[in-house]
Amino acid sequence: MPSTTEQAISWEAERAELEAVLHSHLFARSPALSQLLSYLCEKTFAGETDQIKEYSIAIDVFERRDTFDQDADSIVRVQANRLRKRLHDYYATDGANHSLRISIPVGQYVPAFEKSELEPGTPVPLPASQTSAASGWRPSRKQVLILCGLLGCIAVGLTTFLVRSSNHQPVAQSYEAPQAAPQNPVGLPVGDEIRILAGAARKYVDHAGKLWSPDVFFSGGASTSSPIQHIWRTQDPIIYRSSRQGDFTYNIPLKPGIYELHLHFAETFYGPESPAGGGEGSRVITITANGTPLLHDFDVLADSGGDRTAEVKVFPDISPAADGQLHLAFSSTAGASAMVSAIEILPGVRGHVRPVRIVARDVPYYSDDSRWWSPDTYFKGGQLSTSQQATSGTDDPEFYETERWGHFSYAIPVAPGRYTATLYFVEHQGTRAQNANAARADEAADRVFNIFCNGKEVVANLNLREEAGENRPLVRRVRGLEANAQGKLLLEFVPVTGYATVTAIEVIPE
């Protein structure tokens, strides 16, 4: 058995690197992330990596009680994702010339210590985006915000002009260079958010780190719960296991303004495999907001395409009534009681829905351009996987570490209108085993797949290795997409050879 002295010496460089990271300005202003990183590293130094589990981290670092339920509280996953991003930022700035680097691999909590190709003290050239700062001028935050706002207005105006002048041409597709990420003509509104779990008595923190409150502001109806464990098209089945049913209303106080309303449903009682039997037509609902119809003769099961499936309806341009409340009324049109699983109210953008950004991982992600990406949602089929192969040709290689692969689809809820979907891909080395036609895992077999939107082919015979090469990102932008009758963009990834794949999806109104 090695001596204590030998063990201490073996971690000397790693301890020194940990101290350098913790004393940097990026971590000094974030004690929670510093504590988490210190805990993970010290456990590793002590040879206790087998104790680095989500439960123990929640208890030891975030002071959760011993009744901690990782299904109901995603604090560890959310904070670990923030830590990965903060370490990435550190080694892109203050620690850029360090020969040893600390990382937290996606899907794990045990830290990795990796040797860099740079020698200590090697000067690192500034990226082009920082040359102005290096020359002595650095724009203020206010100037940056004003400039971004002006660019956003120009982008909106240009987009509107192009759409009107296109005379509604058929769906177009084009290849985009990996470095040319699409600009956001809308931006994410900032303001109060309300999330209510209908029929629930407990709060819940979802995979995105968002807090859902117990049932509140209701009148009438009855709370119900379902024992069903799996709900399609969500990583958070807890949201859909409870509901309020009957004829009922919600009177939700709101500040003046424009909001976006999301109503969540899942039919867990009726269906071909349910004890109650039934199917389409078993539950039909009418819903109004401040007396204005939102949904008439709405059938959850028919709209979602099956029972035990998360269904989200999106309504922009929602405002409170004169009394400062949003009055939602749910009534049974025919058959069984009306129902709702959850209500979500977000700051809105007049005239269209907020951008949708989804990355294929189980936690949210902040990209290098400061955009927030939701953890994987709205999917059905396929599997998540992570690659340790570094992606070149991008300023944000961590973004491309994960993928959903297989034969799968995304049913993205939107309001009526036209949309641009931007799809992000990468073909990593070491993914040969995903190709069903490869005789050996090390064969360089290509994968080929098609992509459909609402049944129409929008990308044909996509071969990532042929178009971009290995470990290099490929970005495809598809314009002119329109919601189907169910208010969705149904994106289907269909294999031709091997399996389909996608890293992230962005949907922006045109």
Which pTM value belongs to this model?
0.70
Q: Which residues contact 499 (CB under 8 A, 6 or more apart)?
A: 405, 406, 407, 434, 435, 436, 447, 449
Tokens matching residue 353: 């829905």
What pLDDT, on a 0 to 100 scale, did the predictor assign at position 117?
A: 63
Catalogue the E-assigned strands of 257-369. 259-265, 283-289, 292-298, 311-318, 325-335, 338-340, 342-347, 356-359, 365-366
**Measured distance CA(471)–CA(468) in Å, rounded:** 8
Q: Answer yes or no: are the C-beta atoms of 193 and 260 closer than 8 Å.
A: no
Whether 194-347 and 172-185+355-509 are alike in CATH topology: the answer is yes
Identify the pLDDT of residue 79.
87
The dihedral over CA atoms of 296, 252, 206, 317, expressed in degrees to the nearest 10, equals: 60
Q: What is the CATH number of domain 194-347?
A: 2.60.120.430
Closest alpha carbon to 88 in 366, 300, 444, 402 = 366
**Chunked mean pLDDT (size 10), the chain, 510 residues:** 46 92 87 91 92 93 87 83 89 91 90 74 39 41 51 51 43 44 45 92 90 97 95 96 97 96 96 81 95 96 95 98 98 88 96 95 85 95 92 91 97 97 90 46 73 98 95 97 97 97 97
Q: What six digits make up the tokens of 209?
A: 């780190």
Q: What is the pLDDT of residue 83?
A: 92
Distance, in Å, from the CA atom of 311 to the CA atom of 264, rounded to the nearest integer, reads 6
Count Cβ atoms within 10 A of the Cβ of residue 330 and give its class: 0-12 exposed, 13-18 middle, 19 or more buried.
buried
Provide the residue type at 425 as one letter.
F
Which burial class, exposed, middle or buried, applies to 250 when counting CB atoms under 10 A from its CB (0-12, 13-18, 19+)?
buried
Per DSSP, 171 falls in state P
Distance CA 470, CA 465 (A): 6
Compute the distance between CA of residue 3 and CA of residue 24 in angstroms, rounded to an integer.
32
Phi, psi of 118 (to 5 degrees): -80, 140
218-225 and 242-253 as β-strands: parallel, antiparallel, unpaired? antiparallel
DSSP element (H, E) containing 441:
none
Domain residue spans in the chain? 4-117, 140-165, 172-185+355-509, 194-347
Residue 264 · residue 258 · CB < 8 Å: no
Residue 439 CA to residue 436 CA, distance in Å, equals 8
How big is the chain, counted in residues? 510
Tokens of 131: 């040359």
Element (H, E) at 184: none
**Tokens at 454, concatenated:** 């609402």
User: So what's the pLDDT on residue 157?
Assistant: 52
Let me know: does 74 contact 4? Beta carbons within 8 Å: no
Class of CATH domain 172-185+355-509? mainly beta
